[in-house]
Amino acid sequence: MGDSASGYVSLQQEHTLGRLWLRQLRRQAPTIELPLANQFLENLIYRLIPHSEVKISDFEFVIVDQAELNAFAVPGGIIGINFGIMLHAQDEDELSSVLAHELAHLSQRHFARQIEQAEKQQPLAIATLLASILLIATNNADAGFAGLVGSQAASIQNRLAYSRDWEREADRIGMKALVGAGLDPYAMPSMFQGMVKANRYYKRPPEFLLTHPVTETRVADAAGRAENFPRRPRLISFEFDILKNIAQMRYQLKESDQQAHFEHQLTLESKNSQRYAAAQIALALIAAENDQPDQGLKVLEQIVAPYNDHTAFISLKAELLSQKKTFKEALSLLEESLVFQPEDFQLQSTFARVLMASGDYARATKQLKHLSEQRPTNPLVWRKLAEAAGKDGQTILAHRANGEYLFATGSQSKALRQMELALKQAKQQQDFHQEAAISRRVRVMANSPTSFGN
């Protein structure tokens, strides 16, 4: 590729702009903060990364709470999907094919090359391009295009769409990553074909197809490329089936129809099958949402091994036990599981929630502080830590955690106010360690750009 693109946008600029973009996305669009979904997406991407050509190691992942089919990669290692993509992908291989394609756009620095090409032809500010990608990701594509240059919206749309050569390049490199990760190469053409079919039911093309046009020719090219590799068995994990059911509940099924839908699904599956267990998880989730813990636990009792050892099962059972106020049993269940999977995000998150519900704010704060060290950019972790620390009387930590949450979600001035309150109290208490740590974060936050034009 060469490195001429660095003359327009350096890797450090990409990192800084990418984090700003993510903060603004979280401010403008609802995101899914579901530990099972977050962990699932991370695992898919980290399986692909060693076989991609990306040179960076600092990634951020985000799931947008939108039903529309979309996936995106933003400079600096930001990779995201709309949760609605779960309605379209038939298995993990198909979803991974889209993620592999996005990783290829990052590895080939197509964003910087877009800027370079635009500068050569006609000036197009980085700020304008990033702001437009943000509007598309927040499901406001029309405003994104129209707000760019007014009457030149169509030409800017063409620039936002990757060129045919870059799309072919991303398909080729993405296929290489897919195969290297041991996934089915035929998943890429089948996912593309599904997108083409889905497009027929949309009033306007899905966001992904606006910036990544998928034609029959491109599907055929991907199929031809796949023929150079052996087929592999497709992956459909328990997590995939659970999340697909949750996506259906969120975007497709009316609340009044959900229970009947999954009860009917039980009649179609073998009692020992993964899909049967996933449908039972869905029914237990419905019971939990309706504050019917006894009903939910009764459903979970029917789930057989190995699915009743899964973290999704254990976490949901603990949540239902917590609803019944049987906190000791819920905490014991989680503690036993954490011995074997101490870093599991879902188990740790549920453990903290049950501790909070039981009124043990000190242990909840300790657990969430540990999580914040593991996931220092996760807004949900900081928000829960602020709540727990506040209830435990740890006001310095509560202000600091709230400041981190506000900063991660794009409210920089409010974040700085919270950090100033934390700093003031640290000075009053002569807590020099916290004072130094908070001062460093204040400098970072204050010097962070607030807009793409900075």
Cα–Cα distance, 43 to 440 (Å, whole number): 32
Which one, of 300, 282, 273, 296, lies nearest residue 245 by Cα?
Answer: 282
**What are the C-alpha distances in Å from 184 to residues 24, 34, 127, 174, 192?**
35, 27, 38, 12, 14
> What's the burial of 437, exposed, middle or buried (CB within 10 Å: 0-12/13-18/19+)?
middle
What value does the mean pLDDT of the chain take? 88
pLDDT in tens, 147-164: 433 333 444 444 445 566
The region, left, alpha or beta by phi > 0 then psi within -120 to 50, assigned to residue 292 is: beta
Q: How many beta carbons lie within 10 A of that of residue 301, not counting itself?
A: 11
3-state secondary structure 58-81: CCEEEEECCCCCCEEEECCCEEEE
Phi first, then psi: what are they for 338, rounded to 5°? -70, -20
pLDDT in tens, 416-449: 999 999 999 999 999 999 999 999 999 999 999 8
Q: Is the pLDDT of residue 358 over 80?
A: yes
Average pLDDT on 243-257 reads 97
Q: Tell me if 69 sits within 8 A of 195, measured CB to CB.
A: yes
Q: Is the pLDDT of residue 219 over 60?
A: yes
Cα–Cα distance, 379 to 51 (Å, whole number): 30
Q: Is the pLDDT of residue 32 over 70?
A: yes
Check whether the bond before 379 is cis (ω within 30° of 0).
Answer: no
Say what the pLDDT of residue 73 is.
Answer: 86
Strands 71-74 and 60-64: unpaired
Q: Tell me if 220 sits within 8 A of 168, measured CB to CB.
A: no
Q: Is the pLDDT of residue 261 over 90?
A: yes
Phi first, then psi: what are they for 227, rounded to 5°? -65, -15
Tokens of 240: 């995939």
Q: How many beta carbons lie within 10 A of that of residue 273, not counting itself?
A: 14
Cα–Cα distance, 218 to 210 (Å, whole number): 15
Local confidence band at 112 (pLDDT 50, 70, 90 cut-offs): low
pLDDT in tens, 116-145: 555 554 444 566 666 666 766 776 655 444
pLDDT higher at 412 or 122: 412
Average pLDDT on 320-346 reads 97
- Buried/exposed code over 442-454 (b: 16+ C-beta within 10 A; e: otherwise): beebeeeeeebee
Q: How many beta carbons lie within 10 A of that of residue 392, not counting itself?
A: 18
> What's the burial of 92, exposed, middle or buried (CB within 10 Å: 0-12/13-18/19+)?
buried
Local confidence band at 39 (pLDDT 50, 70, 90 cut-offs): very high
Say what the pLDDT of residue 163 is.
Answer: 64
